[in-house]
Structure 1
């Protein structure tokens, strides 16, 4: 190995090692636990696995094919974790929806099944001619969806970088960093002249150190992990009234609150506004977050059911109005009414 290759190996391996360390930081050591942190940590972990494989295979082509299989399999997780990193941060989710979990679990299952049924070592042609293309297509698809999800942030950064919030710049950097790594790997696998997959490893290393510099430079980083929309201008009274009526109408007519997996994005699509604007409206004009807003509809109906029907169990009432667990229903009920469902039922029967 000559001095040039030694330098490449050093930076690639160092980037991978620090990627693992940084992923642990986002998993366990951030002061405030946002869902975004976990997805970002998982994305960095998957990227680091990809980098480790790239570095060692690049400098030792005789390594067992299982390493190539692990590296390509890790790529299948980078895109989904990137997408949910951006989505959870921009929609300020702190609990992942059931469909998110099922989505990610399905990819883990697919990776395991493909690896067991079609190991790289026995199906070289299948992997080299088809699976590699599928992996990069999947990564590209999720990158595209991530770009679409964060399009408003990217537009704002492009047009007015100086006045963009730290969180907007942070999410923009995450998306653009992933894009750069993807392009490096894609061009390397496509055998474009003067481009190698090791460039992806080096690109990742420098992006990683930029992230580390940002974290070290800032005295507090909590404002990086969710898009700050609290300083947006409030809607005027007429706009508030119109949007309030529109929300109530759609919630009652379609009983959207009965869907336990209802998300901010789902509701915003129903009334044809962006998730950002809806979140702004709920927080700034109604003084409540999305979960509290939806739970009010659920609790109001639960109160009606408890008052009019004493044959149903309280747990079944909670499920009927859209809660996905007994404990969540009881906690939300007490927060909204100031009493427990059982006490409310007893008072209703006595009156």
Structure 2
């Protein structure tokens, strides 16, 4: 039996997926459910690739060709994985099992009839596209929640997952071309298929790497966090706060920030602030949204940047920008530079140069 480059790439992807799957299941860091869902995704990919390998080489195999059914699993698994990262109390339930129905139906039908490749391909494409849209919407909703409840948006946002979803779109396009356009050209078909598997090798490595780098201290948003955002979206229609009371509470919050400097805590969230001020987190959220016309993250960062500017002006050149950004409550250089440039129109380095003129 002579293996082609395509076959070698298939086996490499199978090996990589199984190794990463075992690694994820043995990890204690991060969410166990999230790691498990990602491990299942890798297992499905490994089974899919080994099935392709067996049927490409026309090896004897007692199980019917089920390769057309696996495509119905990738979308639901990615969506549920993202959902497990987003919500603190996420648990797998029978309701989640409904996402597997298209796969189960296709799997059952495969034993009784031959499903046309074009029909299964189009069905999988529709299913996968639907879950991609749902995943993008879920991440967008998550970002809205953490902007209104957390002060460290950049370090916990799922921006990396958005990039992977774009990567999946690219891989899907390559797969579609492979299946629909170059099917009659063996050379081009192998070229696209090889490129597809290579892309998956890089995709899987990056996905596992970034998935394990999720901040351990932040386990997702709660039901209460989501309720705050829903209140803001409805413009606090059920609020009992009068404008006079909002003005008074806004002054209280400003006074507390100026005197106690809670923004210096890089892990500050709305619940921490509410506890320290002996206030309701919904009330604080409403005041910040209605009076200051900002979300919680932007409000806190405005104080951080304000102090950073003050420290840069009074800097004796011994204190570095890195020391300043940590001192005022930022925990990453990129988030500090982004917030600083939005506020001043300049990077911290450019701002320092203007002070020297």
Alignment TM-score, normalising by the size of structure 2: 0.51
Instruction: Give the distance between the partners of 2:218 and 2:120, measured in 1 at CA.
Output: 36
In structure 1, list runs of 5 or more residues that go unmatched. 156-162, 248-279, 289-351
Query: Which residue in the other structure is 1:222 paired with?
Result: 216
Q: Which has the larger radius of gyration?
A: 2
Pick aligned residue for 1:134 from 123, 126, 136 = 123
Deviations 1:161-215 (A, max 9, x none): xx73255234224423432332222221112474523322211111122345557
Given that 2:79 and 2:131 are in contact with CA atoms closer than 8 Å, whether structure 1 keeps it comes out as yes
Instruction: Give the distance between the partners of 1:131 and 1:65, measured in 2 at CA.
Output: 22
Given that 1:34 and 1:225 are in contact with CA atoms closer than 8 Å, whether structure 2 keeps it comes out as no
Instruction: Give the distance between the partners of 2:272 and 2:103, measured in 1 at CA.
Output: 36
Aligned pairs (5 A) from 1:1-351 = 5-6=4-5, 8-58=6-56, 60=57, 62-63=58-59, 69-101=65-97, 103-118=98-113, 123=114, 126-151=115-140, 164-165=154-155, 167-192=157-182, 194=188, 196-211=192-207, 213-214=209-210, 222=216, 226=220, 243=236, 245=238
In structure 2, list runs of 5 or more residues that go unmatched. 145-152, 241-268, 275-279, 283-357
Matched positions, count: 234
1:81, CA displacement in angstroms?
0.8
1:85, CA displacement in angstroms?
1.3
Residues 196 and 185 of structure 1: CA distance in aligned 2, closer, same or farther (over 3 Å): same
Instruction: Give the distance between the partners of 2:80 and 2:30, measured in 1 at CA.
Output: 18
Query: Which one has more relative contact order, counting CA pairs under 8 Å at least 6 apart?
Result: 2
State the superposition RMSD in angstroms. Answer: 4.6
Given that 1:9 and 1:55 are in contact with CA atoms closer than 8 Å, whether structure 2 keeps it comes out as yes
Instruction: Give the distance between the partners of 2:199 and 2:107, measured in 1 at CA.
Output: 28
1:142, CA displacement in angstroms?
1.8
